[in-house]
Chains A and B, each alone.
Chain A
């Protein structure tokens, strides 16, 4: 069973998002610059007099502009080369070796017989590569510059016509280069590991196939006509059902998320008493990049009238909304742009796949074994023409793939074509109803989607590594920036802190907005000590004090949360592991965010290093 993805935040188209984001970025960066100038003026003014402080800042700005124009690619690349050389001589290649060892051991522990082995394998390789690379980035980027300053090798650099910006940029480029090389090695190893780890074939003994019940045998036991069925040999703890229909076409059914191809050309029908054994092709459908086409969801209530939401069954997580069974209550998805080019008939000969994840809520126990019956229909949004796709049964949270036939045989005779008769202006409606009274189906917008022709899995996999790469670039950026000011271990801690905040960004945002259950940090601390539960109100003086302090801390957290990128968003592992194409809009947005952080980091790093006495 493969469930669809939970998408709580809709991904905005990149070019809708960009202008507002860029504006916000510009405002934030200028505010930061202004705050920096005012703060450094205050510090300088406290040490000397206000006017000389002003002069010093003016000079720093002039130098900054000069250094910007003096930036030389030749020197930057020379320094990048140095960083690469340093990394290599520090034997970072060992990391690649560690990765190989990890993969070797993983081969023992990853169970290819699990229900969804692809997910297991993919999320494992992606997670382990990302941890290894991020750790490496952390060490390389934070320790290098402080070591140079401590060993005074920096003296021989800064007494050459080298700008501070080139030192910072050169290091970032160098470490990114070495990280990229390592990541590419890891990606290649992972790809081979996953493909080989999941690859298997089954043998089918033709003599083991038996005539399906009710099928007539025209040619006796070895006849060609009639339907035959049986199963493949067991490999990796599973076997597939095999059917051979009257025309001799072979179907190897889906199991464990994949199927195989089997050709019986020249071998069917098998002569009497033969022991012919046929081998299936490699697994198909395990490593895919499905392209989901999401629709817009609306609800009809039990009388068939439009309503905002379905029924709330009392779940705290109001991601899914519910429809009542045995009534007119319906969940309606409207899909745009349903065209022949997007859904190629050749890719899906059996019908247009519609994938569905629904949650079942029972108001009484009913028949547990059989599940709740429901129906899925297509409707033409203009003419209202309806046809049933399938009646299905759903137990708890169920993921299911149905195929909308390209041609419908209507109850009144006649045939209707899916694209011609049910699609109006490119729009198609899919309706979900629950058939058993008193039971409920719950669904969210991303729960029912049409599957367009697949994208390339290898390319999707590569893009997943690009996500890890973006995370790595950010870690290196922060690491180098901190290392211009702090000593090695402290810079490492600071970067580690930043990465942690970045990975738990959602929680920090909630906390800073005062939305976290149990209040702010101080209030939570009091609750922990007093073993209070999260929902009672705090009372007394300490409650007031805690609220006041929390308000201040929350403001600080809000600033921190804004200054740290949400690193978790760069992990595209879920998409790949679940077999979805990573949305291009998401990649574009995250890449823009990465660059948006990198530039200020570079500038801050430059300012810190330029105004630092490296000889002290």
Chain B
């Protein structure tokens, strides 16, 4: 990803306050979010329930109106429907018309775009083929399993060959194979130059596909950056070796054995995203209102050193 690529999504000071009927403030769902997402990125929005990630997506789609600040998609206000020509959206659950068949569903959504009937029919057939539902395309969606509805939901989001795809919990409700296929598809779409924004609880999935992530907690941005750099623990050495002579290996093993351990690899170890996520959330709970990055990093290093010392 080049940093000079076109900005697809931009939020400035984006704030959403939910109010009750009388206009009294109920919840501050999103506080002054500043984001920039560029063409070709796979961007992950992470956060526990109620952190504001779905609110962010809804604001970007114009399903909600910002209380303050701006959400721009392709440089246009998010409430401008014309931007939707270039957007595909897979909602959290597949909110589709259960009385339609798969084919009717895709044809219907296709007709909402400026696509010629011939192209539309071809695309409908291709998408059904792609999500592997050819055998059930004439059945009403109410007979579909959750996984199948998910797939047709995805096909629906891609009917207009969108440049920007927003996926809300794309892998929820899918079996391991389905999850794998979904992830492969996301990477394939990225390779085609599309921009993808997804939000998810399933951290392993995010870790696998996202280039950059933002972690939200209680409506505030806590962490933002490239996945690989965020997960790298800088001053820990990790070793992964093979073909060492028995002598050397013995020495190392003896050395490690003296400290009750086994050496597997050598290099820069990475933590898992899950670990990072839990740490950020805990830190936020302890020190509310503070950007986590710096403190966390210090703490992190400290912890690693402590472990090492203990090991040594």
Contact = CB atoms under 8 A, between A and B. Distances in A.
Interface string B78-95: 011110110101010101
B96 A156 contact: yes
B100 A70 contact: no
Residues of B contacting A: mostly = loop
A77 B87 CA distance: 22
Contact of B63 (A67, A77, A158): A158
Nearest to A90: B99
A70 B84 CA distance: 13
Interface stretch (A116-124, A256-264, A608-616): A608-616
B156 interface: yes
B95 A156 contact: yes
A82 interface: yes
Contacts of B79: 63
B65 A613 contact: yes
Contact of B95 (A75, A89, A151, A616): A151
Interface stretch (A159-167, A387-395, A430-438, A439-447): A159-167
A296 interface: no
A454 interface: no
B112 A160 contact: yes
A155 B64 CA distance: 11
Using C-beta atoms within 8 Å of the partner chain, give the interface range for chain B.
20 to 34
Nearest to A157: B112
A613 B82 contact: no
A555 interface: no
A85 interface: yes
Contacts of A348: none
A49 to B, nearest CB: 12
B74 to A, nearest CB: 12
A153 B96 contact: yes
Contact of A78 (B62, B99, B111): B111
A613 B81 contact: no
B263 to A, nearest CB: 52
Interface in B277-295: none
A152 B95 contact: yes
B118 to A, nearest CB: 14
Contact of B99 (A75, A86, A152, A162): A86
A614 B160 CA distance: 22
A615 B57 CA distance: 11
A74 interface: yes
Interface string B100-116: 10001000110111100
Residues of A contacting B: mostly = helix
A423 B112 CA distance: 66
A161 B85 contact: yes
B23 interface: yes
Given A82-B97, A85-B99, A161-B82, A152 B65 contact: no
Interface string B19-56: 00001000000000000000000000000000000000
A81 interface: yes
B64 A615 contact: yes
A67 B114 CA distance: 16
B109 A159 contact: no
Q: Which of B84, B85, B97 has the most CB of A within 10 A?
A: B97
A63 B83 CA distance: 13
A78 B63 contact: no
A365 interface: no
B113 A161 contact: yes
A157 B58 CA distance: 13
A47 interface: yes
A184 to B, nearest CB: 24
A90 B89 CA distance: 27
Contacts of B97: 82, 85-86, 153
A153 B95 contact: yes
B81 A155 contact: no
Contacts of B63: 155, 158-159, 613-615
Contacts of B65: 613
Contacts of A162: 81, 84, 112
Interface in B241-293: none
A7 B114 CA distance: 54
Contacts of B156: 156
B304 to A, nearest CB: 43
Contacts of B23: 46-47
A160 B111 CA distance: 10
Contacts of A161: 81-82, 84-85, 112-114
A156 B114 CA distance: 16
B128 interface: no
Contact of B84 (A47, A153, A160, A615): A160
Interface in B179-233: none
Interface in A141-161: 151-161
B95 A613 contact: no
B99 A156 contact: no
B61 A156 contact: no
Nearest to B156: A156
A555 to B, nearest CB: 27
A155 B57 CA distance: 12
A277 B48 CA distance: 94
Contacts of B113: 160-161
Nearest to A86: B99
Interface string A420-433: 00000000000000
A89 B18 CA distance: 36
Nearest to B77: A59
B112 A78 contact: yes
Interface string A230-255: 00000000000000000000000000
Given A78-B112, A159-B84, A161-B82, A85 B91 contact: no
A77 B99 CA distance: 18
A53 to B, nearest CB: 13
Nearest to B100: A85
Q: Which of B91, B95, B96, B112 has the most CB of A within 10 A?
A: B112
Given A159-B87, A159-B89, A160-B113, A81 B95 contact: no
Contacts of B108: 78, 81-82
A160 B79 CA distance: 12
A198 to B, nearest CB: 42
B81 A163 contact: yes
Given A161-B82, A161-B112, A162-B81, A616 B89 contact: no
Interface in A29-87: 46-47, 63, 67, 70, 74-75, 77-78, 81-82, 85-86
A160 B63 CA distance: 11
Given A82-B97, A153-B97, A156-B95, A75 B111 contact: yes
Interface string A90-124: 10000000000000000000000000000000000
A613 to B, nearest CB: 5
B225 to A, nearest CB: 28
23 contacts: A74-B111, A75-B111, A85-B97, A152-B95, A153-B95, A154-B95, A155-B89, A155-B95, A158-B62, A159-B63, A159-B87, A159-B89, A160-B112, A161-B82, A161-B84, A161-B85, A161-B112, A161-B114, A162-B112, A163-B81, A613-B64, A615-B64, A616-B18
Given A160-B160, A613-B64, 7 more contacts: A74-B111, A78-B112, A151-B95, A156-B156, A161-B82, A161-B85, A161-B112
Q: Which 3 A-B pairs have the closest CB atoms?
A: A615-B63, A89-B99, A78-B111
